[in-house]
Structure 1
Amino acid sequence: MRLVVDLNRCQGYAQCAFLAPEVFTMHGDEALMYDPQADDRQRENVRRAADACPVKAITVEPEDAAAAGGKAGASRVG
């Protein structure tokens, strides 16, 4: 799975860091750091985190879409 966070849209609510702390972390009050190539074992936590994002800043792409250049099957979910 491949993650993309629109950092211009992100407002630092930190719901993602709370729900998937192995993938998303907050540095300071507003700086979000994340692993764009999160392990598939984190898939459910990442899905919950993306769904919980109040500003829908997180896009999750399936692994096959990432391998194909990120075009097929991409969806903005959080």
Structure 2
Amino acid sequence: MPRRRVLAETTRLTPAEAAEVLGLSRPFTVRLLDAGAIPSDRLPDGRHRLVRLADVLAFQERRDRRSEGRRRVAEAAEEAGLPY
């Protein structure tokens, strides 16, 4: 079982740490940051950025809701005998 950390929502994470929280790869998480799916702030050097834990958790919640919605649609289609 993976270890869980308890952090304040104001905590700032690196993209690698955000990826770990989400259970995603760092490159995929960076693409999400680039696309604006998860807000991030660039540091003054312009190369590095930080992500608020609250924004990572909000993204995860949206992702979980979409997944649950798709699951419910698939179940309803199956119960109705419709192809899905």
The TM-score with structure 2 as length reference comes to 0.26
Per residue, is there more strand in 1 or in 2? 1
The TM-score with structure 1 as length reference comes to 0.27
Per residue, is there more helix in 1 or in 2? 2
Larger radius of gyration: 2
Structure with higher RCO (Cα < 8 A, 6+ apart): 1
